[in-house]
A and B are shown apart, each in its own frame.
Chain A
Amino acid sequence: MALVQIENVSKIYQTGDIEIAALSDINLSIEKSAFVSFVGPSGSGKTTMLNMIGCLDKPTHGKILVDGKQVDSFNRQKRAAFRGDVIGFIFQSFNLFPVLTAYENIEYPLVMIKDEPAEKRKEMILTVLDSVGMLNQKDKFPDQLSGGQKQRIAVARALVTQPKLVMADEPTANLDKTSSINVIRLMRDMKDKFGTTFIFSTHDPRIMEEAEITHTLVDGKLS
């Protein structure tokens, strides 16, 4: 069975009298260990799409199954727990916690979400830190790191809980050309290494080339 299954999904935003269909009637499935990108111009519905799959938001119509669970029926609490268990997140502006070191940022989900025992934690963190090539930077605070380095730590934070799925909404939008390519290739390496499914969005043509499967959105519709 596919890891993500989307059936007749629409998302309609209501602002005053105006209704905006950010997504209309989407049908799609994504297999395990896929490396998928959503592309399209600004306002085409990429973020909305990723929010639906990432269980951050609910669709107006339709059904979404992630890892066999019908997530659109979950309440707030359940969605939060499900995200912590199954999904990792990488953000456009890195969103590392500024008061925590690189190491502690990666440790955060293990302590605050997963309650992993201390002995196990250290090994898990050092493994991902090594995989993203940031072992020697582990005690720095986010503001002591470059954009590319921050995003590597963010990738490590998303992977440390061994999620089935990692969502990344425009992960390279705040990075220069070289860093962007490096981060995307890092993500692909991680997919190969851990078998994690990656779903990301971009409007950068050079980044699109790195994806194995590309879905194009135009005005909330797949084309």
Chain B
Amino acid sequence: MIRIFKIALRNLLRYKRRTILTSLLITLGIVLVILFSGLAGSFKTMMIGQITDSNLSQMQIHKKGYVSSIDTMPLNLTLDTKRYKKIEDLLSSHSEIKAWAPRIKLNAMLSNFTDTTNIRLNAISPEKEVLVCPDVGSRMTFDEKRDPGILLNPGEVIIPEKLAKGMKLKIGDPIVLVANNKDGSVNGLNFQVAGIIESILGPQGKEGYMHIKDAQELLRMDNPEMIEVAIRLHDFDKLEKVYAVLSSKLAKFINKKGMPEFEIHTWDQLSPFSNIAKMIDFMTITMKIIMIAIVLISILNVMMMSVYERVREIGTMSAIGTSPSRIMGLFLAEGLLLGLISSIVGNIIGLSGIFVLNIYKISFAFGRQDNLLLAPTVNITELLWVSGIVLLISVFASLQPAYKASRMEPVDALGHV
């Protein structure tokens, strides 16, 4: 076995320039895949992190039908205390779930006593919200003297920066919020601007924040009700699995009409960024297909040339009694070795590239956020997969030429005089 690889290596070195060129081409393909999937992957992870950790949460439960009419933020599709209790019981029985938080989403009129404008509000329970969206405070600016541990007190609102600018509002200013409740009756309450929040991608990215108790009062809910339950897991990678379990369990809650009471969605069903994430995945797969094509074509080409140039040698091997399978093995080993050398070099260059990119972090702007830093990462399984595929394709591409070599008749291959 070692002998076969030794002979294969010598034969590869025999045509140095050709071997180096082919190897470089394959190496380039591998480097591109590693760099691209490292960059795109870290971009995706970062954006998903931004969205799930600071605003949307990883998963949400609503009353059935809420998400399909989310644009109008309906106030009649609420979860009362009894239903919220059912959800809490379900969630607390799952060890994968780290935390959950109730929310109310509402539209209100905001007045600074001279002008009035419309505002979308996310009413939260601050102690619970920080467990579900740990970065929720990262986009907010508060008064310097304020205790940074406090996100939001009753009687306070945090307003989007654009709105603050338009309405000439500063931290500490008094405002009035006016809202219609689900019965159509109007109520207004006084608040103080406690902080300003930066926008983020998506419709939810331009929301202000208020305390859930204030929202319940403003909307004149006699009994506390909520609109959504936001959920965070210990391990984001288990999202699909937990989602499947929860949705099948939630489906068992049936209302009097025999229809399901609740609905559950993961972040990607709620955010337009999921399309960008899918696009990134698609591009990564495209890169891999291109790499596979490069490996396939270049190895096939080299191996066909190798067999063609060495007909007489193959004839000699066969004449002196080398079995067809050994001859085939020799050429397969040659293709495999070419793939192996290229993928080792490709991995080294690709990893160095990632390393360099991590030193000189790439900064870029996304939406209204600039100065996002990309720190590309690679995971080892991904590297092993890419290398494994390259090796597999190398052997696959060598199959036909190797088979051809093994089938040669020694009399024909040696050539008649």
CB of B11 within 8 Å of the partner chain: yes
CB of A100 within 8 Å of the partner chain: yes
Complex-state Cα separation, A42 to B313, whole angstroms: 24
CB distance from B319 to the nearest CB of A (A): 5
CB of A77 within 8 Å of the partner chain: yes
CB distance from B191 to the nearest CB of A (A): 84
Choose one: B11, B319, B320, B416; the contact of A99 (CB below 8 Å). Answer: B11
CB distance from B101 to the nearest CB of A (A): 70
Complex-state Cα separation, A98 to B10, whole angstroms: 9
Residues of B within 8 A of A157 (CB): 320
Q: Which residues of B, 1-50, contact A by the 8 Å Cβ criterion?
A: 3-4, 7, 10-11, 13-14
> Are A111 and B320 closer than 8 Å at their CB atoms?
no
Residues of A within 8 A of B320 (CB): 83-84, 88-89, 108-109, 113, 157-158
Number of A-B contacts defined by CB within 8 Å: 74
CB of A56 within 8 Å of the partner chain: yes
> Are B322 and A84 closer than 8 Å at their CB atoms?
yes
CB of A97 within 8 Å of the partner chain: yes
Binary CB contact string for chain A from 60 to 93 against chain B (1 if under 8 A, 0 otherwise)? 0000000000000000110011111101110111
Complex-state Cα separation, A189 to B164, whole angstroms: 107
Complex-state Cα separation, A84 to B410, whole angstroms: 13
| Interface of B (DSSP majority class) | helix
> Are A47 and B14 closer than 8 Å at their CB atoms?
no
Choose one: B7, B10, B312, B416; the contact of A95 (CB below 8 Å). Answer: B312
> In the complex where A91-B414, A97-B313 touch, is A80 in contact with B318 (Cβ < 8 A)?
yes
Binary CB contact string for chain A from 107 to 119 against chain B (1 if under 8 A, 0 otherwise)? 0110111000000
Complex-state Cα separation, A97 to B7, whole angstroms: 10
Number of B positions contacting A (CB below 8 A): 25
Residues of A within 8 A of B417 (CB): 42, 47, 92, 169-170
Residues of B within 8 A of A51 (CB): 411
CB of A210 within 8 Å of the partner chain: no
Number of A positions contacting B (CB below 8 A): 34
Residues of A within 8 A of B313 (CB): 95, 97-98
> Are B7 and A113 closer than 8 Å at their CB atoms?
no
Complex-state Cα separation, A208 to B312, whole angstroms: 27
Residues of A within 8 A of B4 (CB): 112
Q: Which residue of B lies closest to A42 (CB)?
A: B417
> In the complex where A47-B416, A100-B7 touch, is A77 in contact with B323 (Cβ < 8 A)?
yes
CB of B258 within 8 Å of the partner chain: no
Complex-state Cα separation, A75 to B313, whole angstroms: 22
Q: Which residues of B, 367-416, contact A by the 8 Å Cβ criterion?
A: 410-411, 414, 416
Residues of B within 8 A of A87 (CB): 321
CB distance from B416 to the nearest CB of A (A): 7
Residues of B within 8 A of A204 (CB): none
Binary CB contact string for chain B from 285 to 324 against chain A (1 if under 8 A, 0 otherwise)? 0000000000000000000000000001101111111111
Hey, which bits of chain A sit against chain B, CB under 8 A?
A: 42, 47, 51, 54, 56-57, 76-77, 80-85, 87-89, 91-93, 95, 97-100, 108-109, 111-113, 157-158, 169-170
- 15 residue pairs bridging A and B, Cβ less than 8 Å apart: A56-B319, A77-B324, A80-B321, A80-B324, A81-B321, A88-B320, A95-B313, A97-B313, A111-B3, A112-B326, A113-B322, A113-B323, A113-B326, A169-B417, A170-B417
